[in-house]
Amino acid sequence: MTRRPHTATPGGPDLPPRLAARPRDARRGLPIPPVNLHPHLDGGVHVDFTTINTRTSTDLAVQRLCSLCGERLGYWVAFLGGPRAAELMRYADPPGCVECMTAALTLCPHIALGRHRRARADRPGGGIIPPGSHGDKPDRYLLGITREYRTVFIPEHGFSVYLPAPFKTVHEYRYGPDGRLNTDPVTR
């Protein structure tokens, strides 16, 4: 049986309901994860998909809430990253619901498209790469599923790292010849 991928069409039939309920970005129509809302000096907020709000992501992870939908995590928790993050079991990006993280594979252009690059840091909304990260895009993404994790805040760098327990299941997603992420993973 072939599994249908999540549609990139916001509100499409395969978008997880908890993610579909999030506010939408006016320009792209995509759900706005709570970790991509950033405070303005004037008291408002702005959306920046290239940078994770470390205070919000840390608070959500500590409360065991999904970084993408903001709702309570279920029994299983997912981490999405490259092979090196999975090898080290150390993630700069916070955990989320398995369904939301799976949807991110097709919703996030940076992940879904092999040639899509992050905005340069000198551009508005260019994001910040955590200290110790190289910023290179992985050649594939691994979705690791576990039950437990730890959140460690590193004050000298101002961000948290997320340390999952050993993965029960790992889904590996590779880019196809068309440059798009293949949504039929190899599972181990």
- What pLDDT, on a 0 to 100 scale, did the predictor assign at position 136? 78
Residue 84 falls within a domain, yes or no?
A: yes
The DSSP output letter for 138 is: P
- What pLDDT, on a 0 to 100 scale, did the predictor assign at position 115? 86
Calculated CA dihedral for residues 50, 162, 158, 82, nearest 10 degrees: -40
- Residue by residue, pLDDT tens for the chain (188 residues) are 333 344 444 444 479 999 999 999 999 899 999 999 999 989 999 999 988 999 999 999 999 999 999 999 999 999 999 999 999 999 999 999 999 999 999 999 999 999 876 554 444 444 455 454 545 789 999 999 999 999 999 999 888 999 999 999 999 999 999 999 998 999 99
Residue 79 falls within a domain, yes or no?
A: yes
Calculated CA dihedral for residues 81, 184, 186, 173, nearest 10 degrees: -20
The pTM (predicted TM-score) of the whole model is 0.85
d(CA 70, CA 37): 12
- Domain count for the chain: 1
Residue 130 falls within a domain, yes or no?
A: no
Full domain range(s) for residue 102? 17-121+136-187
